[in-house]
Amino acid sequence: MTETKANYVNGEWVSSETGETIDVENPANPSETVARYQQSNAADAAEAVEAAVDAQDDWATTPGPERGRILREAGNVLADRKDELTDALVAEEGKAHAEAAGEVQRAIDIFYYFAVKAADLGGTTKSPSGRQKNLYIRQEPVGVAALVTPWNYPIAIPVWKLAPALAAGNTAVLKPASQAPGVAVAVAEALDEAGLPDGVLNVVTGPGSTVGTEFIENEGTDAVSFTGSSEVGELVYEQATDAGKRVQTELGGKNPTLVTDSADPAEAADIVANGGFGTTGQSCTACSRAIVHEDVYDDFVAELVDRAESVDIGPGDDHEMGPQVSESELESTLDYIDVAENEGATLAAGGEVPEGEAVDEGYFVEPTVFTNVDHEMRIAQEEVFGPVVAVLKVSDFEEGLEVANGVDYGLSASVVTDDHTEANRFVDESEAGVVKVNEKTTGLELHVPFGGFKRSSSETWREQGDAGLNFYTIEKTVYDNY
């Protein structure tokens, strides 16, 4: 019998007042229902916000080391359940087992990191201009944080929003994506087991149009953090700012890897393949454009095609690349492949739904490489969110940099080069929030800021590390004449 999961509100596991549920299917085997979750409505979301508001004052005055102890213990609970949560992530989202295990470990590490940071929060002391005075700055929580998270990193992203929010003394309401909410619910279970007071975290599953909108617009929430598509994120930003809230959005990308004439084509192909085909291309930082110097273009294409054709596709529990998360995501990728061919790009590898017993039921697509791509084609301008890499030929570094920057997005970018001057110029002139040299566009350290430029971000507040804490705190300056 399929298990039905409840919402977590005010320290209790409760059903939605709608009485309806959401079935989550296994994208590698859509006939298999993995679990059921609450199909909540705005009233359920409002109840969660009320619980967070009621709990906020007590949590804000809880000493930082005590908040950190709870976060650390939640990390321990997740560590004890790592194998179980990895399997759950594979079953709901389709991610390959090694990638899923790495994501669960990242969530654990984030809890440990912010557990330590919670004890350091407080403020700074400055020297006053007069005698018998104190002058200091206090860091205080913003209040109630509304967190709306995506399906592609269904445990890492909720935790990298939630951990700094809780460490700083905020309470939170969380709406995970309906395609894969199970591991976010497990985070609530871990925090509950760790001793988090009632109402400090509330998790409500359901549609973004009802639950998410209520979280964003409810007068009880003070800050909104959203990760998802640029189209939805721009609406969220407008909703939140109209309501006078602090807001951060992390959105889409059209991430380039520039391969210069000094690069080794095989090494560059490894970097692009890992960045473009890893996580089935379902990452906002995935490499979707390889911009390649004409002198190494042919060799690079041959190497990249070889890697695309050698990827082992199948269910994530025992294959290298899993399915797309849903039928609609698969159809979107296949539509972009058709568009690219119709616009005149050359299909050099993949582009089809694979055949075989292991892949005959799920939402699988072959790793795909397009060549002879023009910079103005949609395949070179729009986010695909599948394992599709467009290869563009350029005549020199200057043209390559111009093409790399010539899109509406600016999330992650990389350059593959043995020329130190070119590497430094790329870092200086790249219009992206994350810039890498001789590395894939995907993969992030948890203790440094993350965010994009242009349509990839609201360009207001960064996530992760100290920057993540800054979003969830507000400064109060104190003049004490004793």
Query: For 131-164, what is each residue's pLDDT tens digit?
Result: 999 999 999 999 999 999 999 999 999 999 999 9
Q: Convert the pLDDT of each residue in 215-250 to its tens digit.
A: 999 999 999 999 999 999 999 999 999 999 999 999
Q: Which residues contact 75 (CB under 8 A, 6 or more apart)?
A: 108, 109, 110, 111, 112, 115, 190
Shared domain for 327 and 263, answered yes or no, is yes
Instruction: Specify if 452 maps to a domain.
Output: no
Confidence of residue 447 (pLDDT cuts 50, 70, 90): very high
197 shares a domain with 169: yes
Number of domains in the chain: 2
At residue 332 the predicted structure's pLDDT band, cuts being 50, 70 and 90, is very high
Within a domain: 365? yes
Please determine, for residue 23, whether its predicted confidence score (pLDDT) is greater than 90.
yes
Token pair for 395: 């005549």
When pLDDT is averaged across residues 286-298 and rounded to a whole number, the result is: 98
Same domain, yes or no: 326 and 370:
yes
User: What dihedral angle (degrees, nearest 10) is formed by the CA atoms of 119, 121, 127, 130?
Assistant: -100
Does 319 lie in the same domain as 201? Answer: no
The pLDDT, as a whole number, for residue 304 is 98
Determine, yes or no, domain membership for 321: yes
pLDDT per residue over 341-359, tens digit each? 999 999 999 999 999 999 9
What is the per-residue pLDDT across 300-319, written as a single tens digit (0 to 9) for each?
999 999 999 999 999 999 99
Mind listing the pLDDT tens digit for each residue in 94-120?
999 999 999 999 999 999 999 999 999
Beta bridge partners of 474: 140
174 and 221, same structural domain? yes
Residue 371 or residue 121, greater confidence:
371
Query: Is the pLDDT confidence value at 7 over 80?
Result: yes
Residue 244 and residue 267 share a domain: no
Q: What is the pLDDT of residues 65-100, one digit of tens each?
A: 999 999 999 999 999 999 999 999 999 999 999 999
Are 237 and 329 members of one domain?
A: no
- Here the CATH number for the domain that contains residue 77 is 3.40.605.10
The answer to whether residues 276 and 244 belong to one domain is no
In angstroms, what CA-CA distances link 6 with 14, 152, 203? 5, 22, 9
448 in a domain, yes or no? no
Is 433 a member of any domain?
yes
Give the rounded distance of the alpha carbon of 51 from its chain centre.
27
In a shared domain, residues 145 and 118: yes
| Per-residue confidence (pLDDT) for residue 1, from 0 to 100 | 73
SS3 78: helix
416: domain range? Answer: 255-437
| pTM given for the model | 0.96
**% of residues, the chain, pLDDT over 90:** 99
Confidence class for position 62, pLDDT limits 50, 70, 90: very high
Distance CA 187, CA 194 (A): 10
Question: How far is residue 169 CA from its own chain's centroid?
Answer: 23
- Say if residue 266 is in the same domain as residue 239: no
Q: What's the CATH code of the domain at 352?
A: 3.40.309.10
pLDDT recorded at residue 41? 98
Averaged pLDDT of the chain: 97
**161 phi and psi angles, rounded to 5 deg:** -90, -45
Quote the CA–CA distance of 313 and 327 in Å, as a whole number.
17
% of the chain exceeding 70 in pLDDT: 100
For the question of residue 287 being annotated catalytic, the response is: no
Are residues 178 and 55 both part of a single domain? yes
Look at residues 197, 198, 196, 202 and name the one whose alpha carbon lies nearest to residue 176: 202
Would 453 be classed as within a structural domain? no
Q: Are 142 and 1 in contact (CB under 8 A)?
A: no
Neighbours of 457 (CB within 10 A): 26
Query: For 15-28, what is the mean pLDDT?
Result: 97
Asked if residue 100 belongs to a domain, the reply is yes
Beta carbons of 34 and 315 less than 8 angstroms apart? no
Catalytic pick among 163, 201, 272, 284: 284
* 169 and 67 Cβ atoms separated by less than 8 Å: yes
Tell whether 83 and 106 lie within a shared domain.
yes
